[in-house]
Structure 1
Amino acid sequence: MRLNQRFLRTLTELTSNKELSHLIGAFTKTKISRLLIPLYAKTYAIRVEEAEKPLNAYRTLNDFFIRRLKSGVRKIDQDSSSLVSPVDATITGIGRIDDHLTFTVKGQSYKIEELLEHSPYTQKYNKGCFIVLYLSPADYHRIHSPVTGTIIEKKHVLGKTYPVNEFGLKQMHKVLSRNERLITYIRHKNGTIPVIKVGAMNVSSIKYSESLQIHPSKGHELAYFEFGSTVVLLIENGIFEFCKGLGLGSKVFVGEPLGYWRVKDE
């Protein structure tokens, strides 16, 4: 590892803690932070016309981070066999889980057991599929259900707040399974899918939506990030295929199909 990369890694290890994240998060909730909203929107080329409210209606920078979108801006695919994107994001990992219950992202190997914090559901994902969805500072930060089903378990895993961007995934050690995580298990007609919400550097919290339902429909709001972060989906082994053309670097939006389950006689 080059000297500058080693220095950045060491610096990140020293500063990626909840206290710093809370401090930054606290500032974004102050009234004075609202003055930064126009600059933030311009810097990240955010489509402000999609926001539920005009910029001057947001009381703080955090309020703008967790903005909702206008009704109908994101179309939810209604095919009963589809798995849809729960977020607006860029794909940073996609593929199959091997028979050792591991998968690889940016050259690093992750164990399902560690990602799910030793969950009894771990074995369900042997030879299944995974997809990693990174939310940049420019993205819409609310998280929606990728399927229609029933929430059977919610789990909060304490952890670090390392960055989950390109640098974090490549240079930090297994950030997806070391960072704070909020995991929602949803049972649906094709199995059980964990929606793994991974906290990141300077993310003060991951929160469930006030409108969370036990039986969410596809596209229903589940939670939101304060700042950007990452969502990981795990899919059980079965007749499932990702959409053609999806790969590393692909941009996806809430409600767009990521793949389909197919019945065996098709």
Structure 2
Amino acid sequence: MWKPFFRLLTELSSRKFVSRLTGRFAQSAFSRRFIPKFAQTYGIRIEDAEKPLHEYESLNAFFTRRLKPGLRPIHEEAGSLVSPVDAVITGMGTIQSGQLLNVKGQDYTLEELLNRSPRSVNYKEGFFFVLYLSPTDYHRIHSPVSGTIVEKEHIPGKVYPVNEFGLRHMRRVLSRNERLITYMQHEAGEVAVVKVGALNVSSIQYVKPLPDKLERGDELAYFEFGSTVVLLTENDILSPRPDLTVGSKVKMGDPLGILLD
């Protein structure tokens, strides 16, 4: 009974007016009564939430919840690239001549994904991870490196699904949906954190205030019913973890690889 209702809120519609309506509902005080059912339906560990359920003023506030301190330890090895989110890896590999190959059967170009940014050249032979967040997951996004934000770009776009169905059956949704891109400079080079929006308009928000310099694991942004991060590393700077494959689950703070000086 409840799952179809919540799926309406968490899976995308290509019509923005539907996204606006569902977004307004999720941000309304009325929606708070649905928080316990939402948590039960998706098997969310409510004991991990920073606050008791009754203290969240809306469904959206619960969806963007913080966790209790210490639940996501940050991998401490020097030079490690850590996962910015709790997610399933739905695509990963070496970027080949500016292309991200075989993401659920589709290829993407850096030019499209990064909106023809001049910085695209830095990643033409780099490495990529596509990290999908389900409704069950913690939806705050953290810095994968210790470094300085050198550029930010917001790219308006569509609101197509970025779940299994959307990635496999709809044309290049990662480069057509709304995106918020953060370029970060660190000791080994540069990374790009591409946050792909979903469901409601303005579904990706930076934390406020957002400092110029972040330590690995610091909060960077959060999704309001959004669901994918594409993490890119510059050419020839990453040695990825050999045990990770498409389908692997990672938690925020888990190592994805080692950045090479």
TM-score normalised by the chain length of structure 2: 0.92
Q: Structure 2 CA distance, aligned partners of 1:46 and 1:203? A: 25
Match of residue 33 from structure 1 = 31
Secondary structure in 1 matching 2:102: strand
Matches within 5 A, 1:148-227: 148-202=146-200, 205-227=203-225
Q: Structure 1 CA distance, aligned partners of 2:98 and 2:154? A: 25
Amino acid at match of 1:181: R
Secondary structure in 2 matching 1:104: strand
Contact 1:139 1:228 in 2 (8 A): no
- CA deviations over 1:28-70 (Å, ceiling 9, x no partner): 1111111110111011111111110011111110110000011
Q: Structure 1 CA distance, aligned partners of 2:201 and 2:258? A: 32
Match of residue 136 from structure 1 = 134
Does residue 1:98 correspond to 2:96, yes or no?
Answer: yes
Contact 2:207 2:222 in 1 (8 A): yes
Match of residue 114 from structure 1 = 112
Q: Give structure 2 stretches of 5+ with no counterpart.
A: 1-10
- Offset at 1:100? 4.5
* Residues 203 and 251 (structure 1), Cα distance of their counterparts in 2 relative to 1, 3 Å cut: farther
- Offset at 1:101? 3.6
Q: Structure 1 CA distance, aligned partners of 2:134 and 2:83? A: 15
Secondary structure in 2 matching 1:150: strand
Match of residue 251 from structure 2 = 253
- Offset at 1:202? 4.3
TM-score normalised by the chain length of structure 1: 0.90
Contact 1:25 1:204 in 2 (8 A): no
Contact 2:188 2:237 in 1 (8 A): no
Amino acid at match of 1:59: E
Match of residue 236 from structure 1 = 234
Match of residue 80 from structure 2 = 82
- Please, what is the CA RMSD of the aligned residues? 1.6
- Offset at 1:71? 0.9
- Offset at 1:80? 2.1
Identity of counterpart residues, as a percentage?
57
Does residue 1:43 correspond to 2:41, yes or no?
Answer: yes
- Offset at 1:250? 0.8
Matches within 5 A, 1:2-17: 15-17=13-15
Q: Give structure 1 stretches of 5+ with no counterpart.
A: 1-11
